[in-house]
Amino acid sequence: MFWKFDLHTTSHIDQLLDREDVTLRELMEEDDVLQECKAQNRRLLLFLSQDHCMQELVSLITTEPPADLEERSRFKFPNIACELLTSDVSIINDKLGGEESLLEMLYHFLEQDPPLNPLLASFFSKTIGNLIARKTEQVITFLKKKEGFIGLVLKHIDASAMMDLLLRLISCVEPAPLRQEVLHWLNEEKLVQRLTELIHTGKDEERQSNASQTLCDIIRLSRDQANQMQENVEADPLLAVLESQESVAGLLKNMFEGERSEASIVNGTQVLLTLLETRRPGLEGLMDLYSQGYERSYTVNSSILNAIEPHLKDFQQLLLDPPKKSAILTTVGVLEQPLGNARLHVARLVAALLQTSAPTICQELCNLATIDLLLDLFFKYSWNNFLHFQVELCVAAILNHPSSEERTSDPQTSIHNALVAHLFQKCRLVQRILDAWEENDKIQAEGGTRRGNMGHLTRIANMVVQNLEKGPVQAQITDLIKELPEDCRGRWESFVDETLRETNRRNTVELVSTHNMHSSSEDDDMESPFPNDLSLQQAFSDYQIQQMTANFVDQFGFNDEEFIFNLTVCVCSQANAAAFEACCKERIRQFDDAEEEEDIWEEKEINYATQAKSRTR
């Protein structure tokens, strides 16, 4: 057996450690130094944990390497030093977290003038982050004594590594009482307010972007952790500030104060969209809007909506007069006035606001005719599918609102009915669908290209038809259709019965033929792991967009025991069937005569010489 042979080879690192004059750099040159460190090579760990070695390792990750070195090898040793310091070995963690002089060396990195070297910043952030997770109390105590710590981190927020450091402080501190203490400390340092101040026209775009992303991540992390905690746990102070009307109003003031810039509008709107999230991004999307009665993971705080409502007119003005952008060349020609990221984010915000069904918001959107304006942009920018999707979400949110029969006591029902009427009367949704379809048919008849928004227009038309047949506002839509001019009503009925039906038929593609497929189970009553009405196409689509989370199997609807592959062999002719059976019998015949075969379990003398000779042939 293998253990009878002494195949152990002495590591070259051990041979180097036998020398009294060995240096840290010599050890770091070895390819297996990280492997030996993580394998708890005691001699190596004792060497690395010496004061002069630890100081050199920290210096490597916080000091800019000489510029005259070859670029390929310039950051070789800083990278190895970072990996050694974050190898999660207790003796190194204890030394680094317990020696204040080493923590001071690390902290001094933040005191440099910006900009920081992005690689060194990532090494620093990774090292401090590891200490926050492993030596929590020591590191938090040290950082809290530094009055300017948060200010220094925000000064370097243009480096994404600083953003990661802040998030580690929020998410990696355990136990819960200590985490709550850290959150209160960060709140006392006015972290949220200081990040919000960075989203301003006069600030650098990279700093604005990272500040916005940090706020978004704080919101999501805080909400997730609040859901996991018990109800009697104290509320997250950072989340409470972020959701307050004062904080949201301050963010909106920064976005629209002075000269408007696309960066501040986009970054600010991203924070608003995160505050308005009713569940984490992932599987939800248009299909969720079409389904009714889904449960929300989070409830939108009314203070957020109260702060946004007075600024809806400012967002409306952005749709009319966006920040100036130069013309761009696209595959379909020159676009003199691009839609722009600012207007796209306004469309996203309107879609999110409509999903809240807040009465005052819906009323103000009606008064401003925002939906009408978004439909104008939908048809004007016929190749911008990002915009088309947001407009489709807006229409879906309006049509899938609970009906008045279900919410008779809700005062917002009449306001929402007014929004539905606004969509069909003021926005002329049906007429626009018909006109755009006829215009597209004319373009294609003349040899032109089908417009890029026709797919989304088809889905919107189907949405209207589905809600006419069965939906929360079926009765109201039916009445609104009857109120259309007679010629328009006739065109709509002809369009639904002929054009739309034919379009849907062409768009319905069967991925595989299922007429020859049958269950391999002998129990016909066994319940399928998939819903009966779920098509193969939808199952595959769900699989594509499914996030690979720990509960992936439960979410998708089957597990290893339930997953059955149905192998169906289709025999097209009797000749093929006969040939197939003959082949199978020929294969089986080779194993039928058991008496002639050698018993593999029979005890017999083994001739190693014969076997060795046969291997050498």
Whether the pLDDT of residue 545 is over 50: the answer is no
pLDDT of residue 599: 54
Higher pLDDT, 234 or 316: 316
Residues 395-423 have pLDDT tens digits of 999 998 764 444 444 556 688 889 999 99
Whether pTM exceeds 0.85: no
Question: CA 187, CA 401: separation in Å to the nearest integer?
Answer: 38
Higher-confidence residue of 28 and 585: namely 28
Contact 177, 233 (CB under 8 A): no
What average pLDDT does the segment 367-385 reach? 95
How far are the Cα atoms of 22, 500, 515, 516, 563 from residue 512, in angstroms, in the given order? Answer: 67, 24, 9, 10, 19
DSSP 495: I
For residue 448 the two structure tokens come to 């032109």
Pairwise CA distance, residues 189 & 458, whole Å: 52
Q: Taking 80 as the threshold, does the pLDDT of residue 517 lie above it?
A: no
Given a cut of 80, whether residue 528 has pLDDT beyond it is: no
Instruction: Tell me the C-alpha distance between 146 and 141, whole Å.
Output: 9
Q: Identify the residue with better confidence: 336 or 395.
A: 395
Segment 379-384 shows an average pLDDT of 94
CA distance 250 to 257: 10
pLDDT reading at 567 higher than 80: no
Q: Give the Cα separation of 110 and 128 in Å (integer).
A: 12
Is residue 402 exposed (0-12), middle (13-18) or buried (19+ Cβ within 10 Å)?
A: middle
Over the stretch 113-130, which tens digit does the pLDDT of each residue have? 989 999 999 999 999 999
Cα–Cα dist 243/301, whole Å = 7
Tell me the longest C-alpha to C-alpha distance in the chain: 100
* pLDDT value, residue 156: 95
Comparing 151-155, 182-186, 368-372, 580-584, the range with the smallest average pLDDT is: 580-584
- List Cα–Cα distances, 316 to 200, 254, 262, 467, in angstroms: 20, 17, 15, 28
pLDDT over 50 at 611, yes or no: no
**DSSP secondary structure, 514-543, as one string:** -TT-----S-TTPPPSS-TT--HHHHHHHH
**Residue 90 burial (C-beta neighbours within 10 Å; 0-12, 13-18, 19+):** exposed
Predicted pLDDT at 104: 94
What letters, b where the CB count within 10 A reaches 16 and e where it falls short, cover 232-241? eeeebbbbeb
d(CA 313, CA 368): 7
Proportion of the chain above pLDDT 90, given as a percent: 57
Neighbouring C-alpha atoms within 13 Å toward the C-beta of 195: 32
Cβ-based neighbours of 286, under 8 Å, separated by 6 or more: 389, 392, 393, 396, 459
Q: Given pLDDT bands bounded at 50, 70 and 90, which one contains residue 576? A: low
For 357-369, b where at least 16 C-beta lie within 10 A, e where not — what string? bbbebbbbbbebe
Q: 76: which residues sit within 8 A by CB, 6+ positions away?
A: none
- Cβ pair 86, 48 in contact under 8 A: no
- Angular region, 369: left φ>0, alpha ψ -120 to 50, beta rest: left
For residue 425, pLDDT beyond 60: yes
| pLDDT tens digits, one per residue of 194-216 | 999 999 988 889 999 999 999 99
Name residue, tokens 């009503």: 489
What 421-426 contacts at long range (C-beta under 8 Å, 24+ apart), as own/partner pairs, is 421/476, 421/480, 422/366, 422/369, 422/371, 422/372, 423/371, 423/395, 423/398, 423/399, 424/477, 424/480, 424/481, 425/480, 425/483, 426/369, 426/372
Q: Is the pLDDT confidence value at 572 over 50?
A: no
CB atoms within 10 A of CB 117: 18
Contact 280, 220 (CB under 8 A): yes
Is the pLDDT confidence value at 251 over 60? Answer: yes
Mean pLDDT of 473-491: 92
DSSP string, 295-352: PPSS---HHHHHHHGGGHHHHHHHHHSPPP---EEETTEEESS--HHHHHHHHHHHHH
The pLDDT score that the predictor gives to residue 210 is: 95
Range name among 120-129, 288-297, 427-436, 498-507 with the lowest pLDDT average: 288-297
